[in-house]
Structure 1
């Protein structure tokens, strides 16, 4: 018999989903059969599986050691079950995930360099907020990839947030994704409650998310632009439409012109909806593609950026996160992730520096509360 005590980090999830993660080799039907037969109990009593777990709950599993070991191995051909909102992602019952498919490999020099650039911008009992450098995946695309999600797991183990044994029941996870070559703020849940909180806020668009980007050409005035977006799976691109078409999602992007010259502009973007490639595709559709964006931009112009600045990726940075007052436990949270050095250097070379932004080479501004925002800005000057 195996006895498991639910920790605070694991509470809040349904009993059957916990079992599905703890015993990934067992089918849902088998687990419910074991519940009916009382081979699996909750707090010494028969359970249905729909119960919400609380810290201190005790699960008893009446399997032989051999059976228990068998079902702790993932099923072949299993799929990751997740729910998404735009680019947000929270794991539910991971079955056989990409994150688990291979024994951990040795990191390459490039991967180690990227990990050294990751910074913690904010931490609490349930949530971590990271700076993700350009070039790092938010989550694995292939089994042998390294990603911020892998870094998160290692960080949690190293800092005693979770043990390797506890990963069988709960895995910390990033809650929103940035494109590989987009830098900036990424949210992560290190408890079930944290993941649920972030998922709700992302889905309900409670968070104020602001990006910085350099774009080709002079943008004359601030704007809020609506549109419709369709995904072209074949080439991993999006198409923008002014009118609704079949399969299109409504999008809305707002931008403020911080500085503009005849050749280029610095924009601060407020992401109202959060669809894949939304900012890059939307700005390109207006005739102002992001610097370095070969997928949506002008190749000849981007080649000039590459040759002159040494930049071969889009200059798009997730700069600021604001949680409004009255929005639960994160109420008033304000995070700034200063402009990366490479981005800043291109700004200077193109006469697009802006004094109201936070710039830093080696350190990152951590979280503050909105009522301290003015003092924080004065302190950065």
Structure 2
């Protein structure tokens, strides 16, 4: 058993955040402990979102011998406030259900715990089958600032994808409307506004063409669910490997089971309005290599 008394400085923290900072536990591990009634606040069970007060006593009855070693993390940039990490395709950014024990969040926090550092958390997400740069905040202030900069479109994300055919014109803008069907976990693109639809804007530029495929860079001006995947498919150029919006038959013929889409560059386009994070102004984080680019467009450099 372990017990902590909440200090004045720690007052206001969520229970899950408090435990992550104390133990560096992956969220999945913490959620399981909570479900099994092994975490108490003042001898009572509380939700993960419970805000602690000064003097609260948090008790853990967790035995940690069952924690497993997680794979290493590919860090692209790190300082005292933030992390930029390469998320592999086929890995969850995080899992709010607590059922998955291996997510990028779990791996990052296991790494930080091994270094004796407090836990971090992601400020945005990347789809399970999409790879690329995911930003983590190491403290709440940095997280709030990054979240605000993302909402204000001052964190610029660029993607590379492989699509079927050649876009005409080779560079331009896709602008239409996206309607999300949460039950089916997919979106639909329309040229005219309909109830519940939101404007979606993507600038694109063809970087290479060959063997009936195009390597396309996409820059998001809006951040809708499955935006690039659905807009490219609507334009007649589905992403290779994308069964949801493309052709499963074609994808299997090409030997691909996940959409070839990577968030390969993040640029911080803010200034003094970012306060303590203004030192990041003008900085760009870029992937060193992308396996699917080498596979289909060997020799291409971005």
TM-score (structure 2 length as normaliser): 0.78
Higher relative contact order (CA 8 A, sep 6+): 2
> Which of 245, 252, 255 is residue 303 of structure 1 equivalent to?
252
- Cα distance change, pair 262–158 in 1 and its aligned pair in 2 (3 A): closer
- Unaligned segments of structure 2, at least 5 residues: 20-39, 53-61, 273-277
Q: 1:43-97, CA deviations, whole angstroms, 9 ceiling, x for partnerless residues?
A: xxxxxxxxxxxxxxxxxxxxxxxx95424x434xx7x69xxxxxxxxxxx69xxx
Q: Distance in 2 between matches of 1:195 and 1:207?
A: 13
In our comparison, the structure showing a higher alpha carbon Rg is 1
Matched, 1:74 2:19: no
Give the aligned partner of residue 147 of structure 2: 199
| Residue matched to 1:364 | none
Q: Measured at CA, do residues 107 and 303 of structure 1 come closer, stay the same or move farther in structure 2, by a change above 3 Å?
A: farther
Query: Does structure 2 retain, via aligned residues, the 8 Å contact 1:184–1:317?
Result: yes
In the other structure, the counterpart of 1:160 is 116
1:21–1:150 CA distance, 2 compared to 1 (3 A): closer
Q: Does 1:179 align with 2:174?
A: no
Give the one of 329, 341, 344 matched to 2:279. Answer: 329
1:265 to 202, 211, 214: 214
Are residues 150 and 22 of structure 1, via their aligned partners in 2, closer, same or farther at CA, if it must alter by over 3 Å? Answer: closer
Compute the displacement of 1:295 (Å).
0.7
Q: Which runs of 5+ in 1 are unaligned?
A: 25-66, 82-92, 95-101, 163-170, 358-381
Aligned length: 263
**Residue 223 of structure 1: CA displacement?**
1.0
Cα distance in 1 for residues equivalent to 2:252 and 2:174: 28
1:244 aligns with 2:247: no
Indicate if the aligned counterparts of 2:232 and 2:239 stay in contact, CA closer than 8 A. Answer: yes
**After the TM superposition, which parts of structure 1 deviate over 4 Å for at least 4 consecutive aligned residues?**
19-24, 102-108
2:181 to 218, 229, 232: 232
Aligned-pair CA distance for 1:326: 2.3
Q: Larger deviation: 222-231 or 153-162?
A: 153-162
Cα distance in 2 between the residues matched to 1:228 and 1:103: 50
Deviation, structure 1 residue 152 = 2.1
Say if 2:155 and 2:270, in contact at 8 Å, map to a contact too.
Answer: no
Larger helix share, 1 or 2? 1
Question: Taking structure 1 as reference, are residues 206 and 345 closer, same or farther at Cα in structure 2, changes over 3 Å only?
Answer: same
CA 1:107/1:340 → structure 2, altered by over 3 Å: closer, same or farther? farther
Q: Distance in 2 between matches of 1:272 and 1:239?
A: 18
**Cα distance change of structure 1 residues 156 and 106 upon mapping to structure 2, 3 Å threshold:** closer
Equivalent position of 2:23 in the other structure: none
Q: Secondary structure at the match of 1:212?
A: strand
Partner of 1:42: none
